[in-house]
């Protein structure tokens, strides 16, 4: 799909440099990477956080996970 939009030339140069590709390929790769990172953040946030101590392994192993 072709879409026309304004992109800051400096941002585009940086994307090309970081992604190692030219214009549309670099921009597509950057957008795909952004989507991947945001999905990963959401997944990690949904899993919650457990502060594990080596002494808590039995309790953790046998606890109900939500």
> Is the pLDDT assigned to residue 62 strictly greater than 70?
yes
> Is the pLDDT assigned to residue 64 strictly greater than 80?
no
pTM of the model: 0.56
Q: For residue range 4-61, list pLDDT tens digits in order.
A: 888 888 988 888 888 887 777 888 888 898 999 999 988 888 777 666 566 666 776 7
Residues 6+ apart with CB under 8 A from 26: 12, 15, 16, 18, 19, 20
- A 10 A CB-CB count for 26 gives 19
Could you tell me the residue ranges of all domains in the chain? Answer: 9-62
End-to-end CA distance of the chain: 41
What does the pLDDT read at residue 8?
87
What does the pLDDT read at residue 61?
72
* 62 alpha carbon, distance to own chain's centre: 31
Helix 23-47 / helix 9-19 crossing angle, nearest 10 deg:
80
Question: How many residues are present in the chain?
Answer: 66
What does the pLDDT read at residue 50?
61
């Amino acid at each position: 799909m072709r879409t026309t939009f304004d992109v800051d030339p400096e941002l585009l140069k940086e994307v090309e440099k970081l992604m190692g590709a030219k214009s549309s390929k670099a921009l597509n790769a950057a957008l795909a990477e952004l989507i991947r990172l945001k999905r990963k953040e959401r997944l990690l946030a949904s899993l919650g956080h457990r502060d594990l101590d080596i002494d808590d392994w039995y309790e953790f192993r046998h606890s109900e996970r939500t």
